[in-house]
Amino acid sequence: MNDGHDVTVVTCAPNHPQGRVYEGYRNRVFQRETIDGISVIRVWTFVTANEGFFKRTLNYLSYMCSAILVSLLLPKSAVVLSTSPQFFNGLAGYFVSRLLRIPWILEIRDLWPESIVAVGALRNPAIIKMLEWVERFTYRKADRIVPVTDAFKSYMLSKGIEAGKIVVVKNGVDLTRYTPLDETGSLAEELGVKGKFVVSYFGTHGMAHHLETIFHAARRLTNSKDVVFLMVGDGAERQALIRMRDTMTLDNVMMLEQQPKSLMRELWGLSNVSLVLLKKSDLFKTVIPSKIFESMAMAKPIILGVEGESAELIQAAQAGICIEPEHTDDLAARVLELSQKPAWCQQLGRNGRAYVVQHFDRVVLARKLVSVIETVCRKSALEAAEVSVSGPTPEKRGQPKLEKAATLEPSNSRRAA
């Protein structure tokens, strides 16, 4: 937008993860607002909590249908970009591109249906086979695919997708919002953690994260009175985790509901260590959880329970310690080690901050994505001109301006428009 592009975002009323529409919004058929100069269109969806395969699928399908319909009423764009934390959202871009006769860029944040199969949320072979066919269909039909990890690209190449149509643009972090903060005395006192070594997990409490590991590690550290675990967020497993914590009588585990973004910087500030955990699965070797970049930007060392590309990043940055996923004893030992070595702990945090500034500035990465979009638009315009050599020029045939783009994404997408 600040680089001279006209962007329209088609999304839904914000409601993630509890399935309750945020204050100030309504789940209407059509709403329009402007955020930082970007036109945001919000459409009706079947609103539900982030739990339960069937209801969530209805949510994704309802968004896809609403986004397709409303896109027909908007000024014609030069390109449509759809993002797929779930591929029915991404698939909306295919239908819009065909109806409006514009190119389609598909951004891939998670591999579906592999992700839901990996956490055990889907086991029906017939449904899995159908979703795998949809997955291959979207990869073939997209004019360009933008995965957020190198491992995702390798996976797509293994599916026979040509390398030339895949461009990796990784997630990054807003370095103006996430800056180190050392003074958080009032909040630390309010939460009762002042003077404690705070080990934090911020983010979704879902099936993929196996957060039970934190509780078992906390039980092993009950005699370390200065160590406290802080968990902030919501998700499908949160209530079960609260019951588990209470059953285990873990006084050293504090669990807060999802907090407003305005408070998150202070919560990062009072943390000594950040936890990034996922279940032990070959699929999760391909992902890079976005909270890694936030932790690094806040100069917080990371204990990483994820294998593969994420571990390679942490090792390259010297920004934390990698453990085996779901390994309780290793997690407890590493927390205790960092709590006893404050200078090393702080050095890991500084290393992470320096690395993310150099490699994962969101502004730089957003411009890389813009470059991909512009390349696709130019190619489309040239092809249209070649087809109409003996007929009207592309402009006379209603060829849209190259600076107009439509973005289809659900309300919990992390990529900046």
> What is the CATH classification number for the domain harbouring 367?
3.40.50.2000
Q: Please say if the pLDDT value at position 396 is more than 60.
A: no
Same domain, 351 and 367: no
Does residue 414 belong to any structural domain of this protein? no
pLDDT at residue 157 is higher than 50 = yes
Q: Is residue 389 part of a domain?
A: yes
Residues 189 and 330 in one domain: yes
pLDDT at 295 over 90: yes
Residue where a domain stops, chosen among 359, 379, 399: 359
Give CA–CA dist 54/167, Å, rounded: 32
Inter-residue contact 296 to 352 (CB < 8 Å): yes
Flag whether pLDDT at 241 surpasses 90: yes
pLDDT for 118: 74
Q: How high does pLDDT run on average in the chain? A: 89
pLDDT of residue 23: 87
Q: What is the mean pLDDT of residues 292-314?
A: 97
Taking only the tens place, the pLDDT of each residue in 207-233 is 889 999 999 999 999 999 999 999 999
User: 176 CB contacts (<8 Å, ≥6 apart)?
Assistant: none
How far is 309 from 283, CA to CA, in rounded Å? 11
Residues 6+ apart with CB under 8 A from 11: 40, 41, 42, 43, 408, 409, 410, 411, 413
Q: Would you say 135 and 161 are in contact if contact means Cβ atoms under 8 Å apart?
A: no
Q: Is the pLDDT of residue 125 over 70?
A: yes
- Measured CA to CA, the distance from residue 378 to residue 30 in angstroms comes to 31
Task: Indicate whether 349 and 373 sit together in one domain.
Answer: no
User: 334 and 189 in one domain?
Assistant: yes
For 166-183, the pLDDT digits (tens) are: 999 999 999 999 999 876
Q: 276 and 296, same structural domain?
A: yes
- Does residue 159 lie within any of the structural domains? yes
pLDDT higher than threshold 90 for residue 201:
yes
Domain with 284 in it: 185-359
- Residue 177 forms part of a structural domain: no
Residue 309 covered by a domain: yes
Residue 404's pLDDT is 56
- Do 64 and 141 reside in the same domain of the chain? yes
Tell me, yes or no, whether 207 and 297 share the same domain: yes
Residue 82, phi then psi, degrees to nearest 5: -120, 145
Domain count, the chain: 2
| Domain boundary, last residue among 359, 374, 398 | 359
The answer to whether the beta carbons of residues 139 and 153 sit under 8 Å apart is: no
In a domain, 180, yes or no: no
Inside any domain, residue 246: yes
Is the domain of 36 the same as that of 145?
Answer: yes
Higher pLDDT, 71 or 127: 71
- The answer to whether residues 338 and 374 belong to one domain is no
Percent of the chain scored above 90 by pLDDT? 69
Q: Give the helix/strand (H/E) hosting 254.
A: strand 253-256
**What are residue 229's DSSP bridge partners?**
199, 253
Q: Please check whether residue 1 lies inside any domain of the structure.
A: no
For residues 381 and 349, state if they share a domain: no
Confidence label for 276 from pLDDT (cuts 50, 70 and 90): very high
130 and 30, same structural domain? yes
Query: Is 236 found in the same domain as 91?
Result: no
